Amino acid sequence: MTHTSSITWNGNGYAFDAVTGAGISLQIGVDESGAAVGARAKELVCLGLGACSGSNLITLMKKMRQQVERIEIEVEAEQAETDPLVFTHVLTKYRLYGKEIDPAKVKKALDHIEEKYCGVLHMVNKTAKTEYAFEIVEV
């Protein structure tokens, strides 16, 4: 599968108009004053990591017959202080809401995601130490 995107700079600060291969439009970057006009590029990497690993987690939880009703994901990424400003440490925190969710199954799923499934995570961990934490909220 090939992924495509189109990004255009129109002379305004470091702001870009972007269109995904699926035709979704968004803005990325900051204007001349430094004010955000959209997500910053590295924030998009964090969002991609959360969505990719979250999709895998949903799939695995369903296969393990866990009654998960909602998942919240937070990604915290530290970056190097010198160029290239790559991520050096990434912590992904998962909060799973549901009934009688087995912590051992969540851990097993997240270990599988780290070892095999999440392509975005595997790209990020080329430069960063990655780890996860999770919490289960009974509803």
Tell me the pTM. 0.94
**What burial class does residue 56 get, using C-beta atoms within 10 Å of its C-beta: 0-12 exposed, 13-18 middle, 19+ buried?**
buried
* Closest C-alpha among 97, 48, 53, 47 to residue 71: 97
pLDDT (tens digit per residue) in 89-107: 999 999 999 999 999 999 9
pLDDT (tens digit per residue) in 30-45: 999 999 999 999 999 9
- pLDDT for the residue 125: 95
In one-letter notation, the amino acid at residue 30 is: V
Residue 70 pairs in a beta bridge with 97
CB 89 within 8 A of CB 79: no
The domain spans of the chain are 1-39, 41-138
Confidence of residue 139 (pLDDT cuts 50, 70, 90): very high
Tokens representing residue 60 in the block: 């695995």
- Which listed CATH number (3.40.50.620, 3.30.2450.30, 3.30.70.790, 3.30.300.20) goes with 41-138? 3.30.300.20
